[in-house]
Structure 1
Amino acid sequence: MTTTTTTDIKLRQHRVQTSLGEIAVAEVPGDGPVLVMLHGGGPGASGISNYHQNLPALARRFRILLPDQPGFGDSYRPTDTDLDDRSITQITVDALFQALDQLGVGEFHLLGNSLGGAAAIAMAQTQRERITGLVLMAPGGGWLPFGPTPTEGQKEMFKYFNGSGPSEKKMAAFIRTMVFDHKQFGEDVVRARYEASLDESHIAFYHLYNAAFAKRGGMDPLWKDLDKITAPTLLLWGRDDRTITLEGAQILLKQIRNVQLHVFGRCGHWVQLERQAEFERLVADFLEELA
């Protein structure tokens, strides 16, 4: 275990060995309930990169765990055989529960965005008694699109590593589809996310991941078992999300027993960035009321 500092927050870095491979977990120590935060699946994504700006506010109320999901950040890379045998969501759920067991975590709050939202849904369906509160931000797998697929954002994500490969121009185009107003995010954000996407093992994984995604016809159909979720659930969605569109949220509202929805106008797929203060307040207030 090592310690690093980001945004004036000290992080403990865990390397947790599971039967699948090593999972990297950043921890913000605290006396409050455990909050596990799962990142999305875009190029260069990781637990810290997706949520570092939210840590100062949330760390005052929670002990935060930020896992890098298999294939991302500093965690192990699933092989093509792994992805043939099981979906990325099934792999992730298995690895994350093992990692949390190794860290001695029993019950916990769970938050997930996009690809991480799919993992969060599956975790809440699988070991229901451990999830005390669930926050889903435009989650994959539990959503049924009304329009054509892949969506605009999904197309940008899939082609980022294809053709001539990664570039700052392609990263800027990707970010434009993720947010409502890309002018909030300057060249420094584009460059940082681009540089984070250049790890050769991550690029190789992403090609396998995209191929497996196409072979399976998309995400696991987690929407079929949404009624298995028993945790109180908060849905957060940008009205202008062009990746996981708001219209598809209706089935989540219909099938999850204890659920509420907050929609952010003039907001895209990255709620935690575009509406940072509101996101932090809503998440903290919702989860604290469950205590």
Structure 2
Amino acid sequence: MVQMVTERYWRRALGMQVRYANCDDYQFCYSYRGRPGHRPTILMLHGFSAHKDMWLSIVKFLPKHLHLICVDMPGHEGTTRSSLDDYSIYGQVKRIHQFVECINLNRKPFHLVGTSMGGNVAGVYAAQYPADICSLSLVCPAGLQPSKASKFVKQLQEMEESRAMDRIPLIPSTPEEMADMLKLCSYVRFKVPQQILQGLVDVRIPHNEFYRKLFLAITDEKSRNALYENMSKIKAPVQIIWGKQDQVLDVSGADILAKSIPDCQVHILENCGHTVVVERPRKTAKLLLEFLATVQNAENNKKLA
């Protein structure tokens, strides 16, 4: 409850408004700030088991004149959760495209940002709907085959070998597991009181069955390497941001993307883990704005040529 009140307060303080888009029998929940203008709209896709408010830490450092949209991914927070939905990466890409069409976002190309699971979806979206995208920022995206296995991937491999997939490290159900997940995701070590850990777990437990189903859908053979299989089809300018000490998705994934996508910008952040958006929001916002300016300048030069 306290968490919800805090998020509502921050949304209001930062000028973000919540809206719902009903597309056929499906509802998307999203927050936005600003209006469409001559600069591209920025659409942000969050990671596994997060929601639209995870971007507030970055929104704080972005100028108010930019048109920002943060959407709850399929099944998360205020967006429809249905047992019949396809939660694979390709299924999520289709849903996000439905959202984009529903709110007429692709009247002109927009800038797409995605982190972790949302980065996998964003990359595949850019490959499949190139006309929608003017530029793309991928923040430690999933869906690759890094040359080095991360701590998290090793844990998963051990669990698969022992057939003990009942305790996935990203789906905590006790305060101790919650503390372990925070350590896994963040380079910065926070001393979180037991009471807060319990509160964080209590909020997640009612959703754990869904998170489990979603996790199995995004790590199966169809989705696991979706970005890797689509990266050569990405035509838009690309920016990659990755935490050097990421223990969830190894930083070697940045190299794989850089070798496949010509002229992409790569930024490796020192002393930073997987939760780049939370750990280094000011730096991430700065890199995002600099990249958008570079893309805009290149476009202007093309028109003048």
Task: Provide the TM-score with structure 1 as the length reference.
Answer: 0.84
| Structure 2 residue aligned with 1:15 | 20
Measured in 1, the distance between the counterparts of 2:173 and 2:56 equals 23
Equivalent residue letter for 2:124: A
Corresponding residue to 2:153 among 145, 151, 154: 151
Question: Is the counterpart of residue 66 in structure 1 residue 70 in structure 2?
Answer: yes
Measured in 2, the distance between the counterparts of 1:189 and 1:131 equals 40
Measured in 1, the distance between the counterparts of 2:275 and 2:155 equals 12
Measured in 1, the distance between the counterparts of 2:90 and 2:32 equals 23
**1:181-219 CA deviation, whole Å, 9 max, x = no partner?**
222x74497566445424x3x323112223434553762
| Structure 1 residue aligned with 2:178 | 171
Partner SS state of residue 223, structure 1: helix
Corresponding residue to 2:211 among 206, 211, 217: 206
| Structure 2 residue aligned with 1:135 | 137
Measured in 2, the distance between the counterparts of 1:25 and 1:126 equals 23
Question: Is the counterpart of residue 115 in structure 1 residue 117 in structure 2?
Answer: yes
| Structure 2 residue aligned with 1:278 | 283
Equivalent residue letter for 2:57: Q
Q: Quick one: percent identity of the two aligned structures? A: 21
Measured in 1, the distance between the counterparts of 2:233 and 2:223 equals 21
65-74 or 53-62, which deviates more: 53-62
Question: Is the counterpart of residue 82 in structure 1 residue 88 in structure 2?
Answer: no
**1:236-265 CA deviation, whole Å, 9 max, x = no partner?**
011110111012322201111230101011
Measured in 2, the distance between the counterparts of 1:60 and 1:288 equals 16
Over alpha carbons, which structure has the higher Rg?
A: 2
CA RMSD of superposed structures (Å): 2.7
**Deviation, structure 1 residue 21:** 2.3
Task: Provide the TM-score with structure 2 as the length reference.
Answer: 0.80
Measured in 2, the distance between the counterparts of 1:16 and 1:174 equals 33
| Structure 1 residue aligned with 2:102 | 102
Measured in 1, the distance between the counterparts of 2:262 and 2:241 equals 16
- Contiguous gaps of at least 5 residues in structure 1: none
**Deviation, structure 1 residue 14:** 1.8
**Deviation, structure 1 residue 230:** 1.0
Equivalent residue letter for 1:82: D
Measured in 1, the distance between the counterparts of 2:246 and 2:99 equals 31
**1:89-143 CA deviation, whole Å, 9 max, x = no partner?**
1121111111121212122101110000001001100111211111101101134
What is the number of equivalent residue pairs in this alignment? 275
**Deviation, structure 1 residue 61:** 4.7
| Structure 1 residue aligned with 2:4 | none
